[in-house]
Amino acid sequence: MIIAIIGATGLVGKEMLNVLEEKNLPVSEIIPVASEKSVGKKINFANKKYFVVNIDNALNKTPDYVLFSAGSNISLKWAPKFAEIGSTVIDNSSAWRMDNSKKLVIPEINGHLLNKDDRIISNPNCSTIQMLMVITPIHRKYGIKRTIISTYQSVTGTGQKAINQLEEESIGKKGETIYPHPIFQNALPQCDSFDQDGYTKEELKLVKETYKILDTNEIGISATAVRVPVIGGHSESVNLELKRPFEINDIKKILNNAPGVVVQDDPKNNSYPMPITVKGKDDVYVGRIRRDFSCENSLNLWIVADNLRKGAATNTIQILEYLLNKK
- Region 242-271: mean pLDDT is 98
Rg (CA), the chain: 20
The confidence score (pLDDT) of residue 274 equals 98
CA 114 to mean position of chain CA atoms: 18
Residue 82 pLDDT > 90, yes or no? yes
CA distance 205 to 93: 12
Cβ 4 vs Cβ 63: under 8 Å: yes
The confidence score (pLDDT) of residue 247 equals 98
The confidence score (pLDDT) of residue 327 equals 64
Q: pLDDT band for 165, please (50, 70, 90 cuts).
A: very high
Closest by alpha carbon to 313, among 96, 109, 10?
10
Closest by alpha carbon to 30, among 56, 60, 58, 70?
58
The confidence score (pLDDT) of residue 222 equals 98
Residues in the chain: 327
Which run of H or E residues covers position 303? strand 298-305
- Region 250-264: mean pLDDT is 98
Q: 123-144 pLDDT, tens per residue?
A: 999 999 999 999 999 999 999 9
Residue 88 pLDDT > 70, yes or no? yes
pTM over 0.85: yes
- One of 3.40.50.300, 1.10.760.10, 3.30.360.10, 3.40.50.1220 is the CATH number of 127-307, namely 3.30.360.10
- Planar angle of CA 91, 96, 98, nearest 5 degrees: 135
Within 10 angstroms of residue 82's Cβ, the number of other Cβ atoms is: 23
The confidence score (pLDDT) of residue 326 equals 79
Close Cβ partners of 209 (under 8 Å, ≥ 6 residues apart) = 97, 98, 104, 124, 125, 128
Residue 116 pLDDT > 90, yes or no? no
CA distance 132 to 284: 10
May I ask the CATH architecture of the domain 2-124+312-326? 3-Layer(aba) Sandwich (3.40)
Close Cβ partners of 96 (under 8 Å, ≥ 6 residues apart) = 75, 79, 102, 120, 122
- Region 243-253: mean pLDDT is 98
Domain boundary assignment for the chain: 2-124+312-326, 127-307
Phi, psi of 103 (to 5 degrees): -90, 140
Calculate the alpha carbon distances from 224 to 150, 198, 212, 239, 319 in Å: 5, 11, 19, 12, 28
The confidence score (pLDDT) of residue 195 equals 95
CA distance 124 to 34: 22
Residue 151 pLDDT > 80, yes or no? yes
DSSP classification of residue 96: T
SS3 of residue 124 by DSSP: coil
For the sheet containing 2-6, what is the strand order?
29-33, 2-6, 65-68, 88-91, 120-122, 103-104
Pairing of strands 103-104, 120-122: parallel
Which residues are known to be catalytic? 126, 234
